[in-house]
Amino acid sequence: MTDMTRRHLLACAAALAATTPLAAATAPGIHVLKDRNCGCCTGWVEILKAEGFEVTTENSFGTALIQHKLDSGIPQDMHSCHTGQIEGYMIEGHVPPADIRRLLAERPDAVGLAVPGMPYGSPGMGPEDEREAYDVFLVLKDGSAEVFSSYDAA
């Protein structure tokens, strides 16, 4: 039996902390409205879960989902297939988890983030190594939007 020294215990604790995903401990919950039959919505939800987000989903579709987006301040030209809500922000479409974390860290006075349409290679929309270029927009409360981050084509 080996002697457990304080130094050994601290080294083990540091090694465990280094291998534990920080996202799992710090990512808040996100509620997602989506069409129950949409595979890309499910793909995006699974990516968020893998990144440590606590995700709840609610099935919605058609005019009810569109009305929810509009009532939440997401302009029609920013719409995609699913809509999430996290800590008072709206997340529209295939927004990468890193951008959601950045939004929550920076806390801008905004409605939230949007990836309009369904760009190929965005999270949940096919392989990233075949990605087409796309932008993530910060949707402002006056209905305008500005580029929050850009992703080049692979």
Structure tokens belonging to residue 13: 């604790």
| Cβ-Cβ contacts under 8 Å for 88 (sequence gap 6 or more) | none
Residue 134 lies in a domain: yes
Burial class (CB in 10 A: 0-12, 13-18, 19+), 105: exposed
84: Cβ–Cβ under 8 A, 6 or more apart, which residues?
30, 31, 32, 33, 90, 91, 92, 95
Q: Is the pTM of this model over 0.75?
A: yes
Does some domain include residue 22? Answer: no
Number of domains in the chain: 1
Given a contact cutoff of 8 angstroms between Cβ atoms, the answer to whether 64 and 77 are in contact is: no
From the list 33, 146, 37, 133, the residue with the least C-alpha distance to 90 is 33
**Cα 73 from chain centroid?**
18
Q: What does the pLDDT profile of the chain (154 residues) look like in tens digits?
A: 444 454 443 444 444 444 444 444 566 899 999 988 888 999 999 999 999 999 999 999 889 999 999 999 999 999 999 999 999 999 999 999 999 999 999 999 999 999 999 999 999 999 999 999 999 999 999 999 999 999 999 9
Is 40 a domain residue? yes
- CATH number of the domain to which 38 belongs: 3.40.30
Return phi, psi of residue 41, to 5°: -65, -45
Domain containing residue 33: 28-151
With tokens 């290679």, the residue in question is: 121
Determine the number of helices (DSSP H) and then strands (DSSP E) in the chain. Answer: 5, 7
The answer to whether residue 138 is domain-embedded is yes
The owner of tokens 């609610």 is 58
In a domain, residue 51? The reply is: yes
Spatial distance between the Cα atoms of 113 and 19, rounded to a whole number of angstroms: 30
Residue 9 covered by a domain: no
Residue 61 is assigned to a structural domain of this protein: yes
Assigned domain for 121 exists: yes
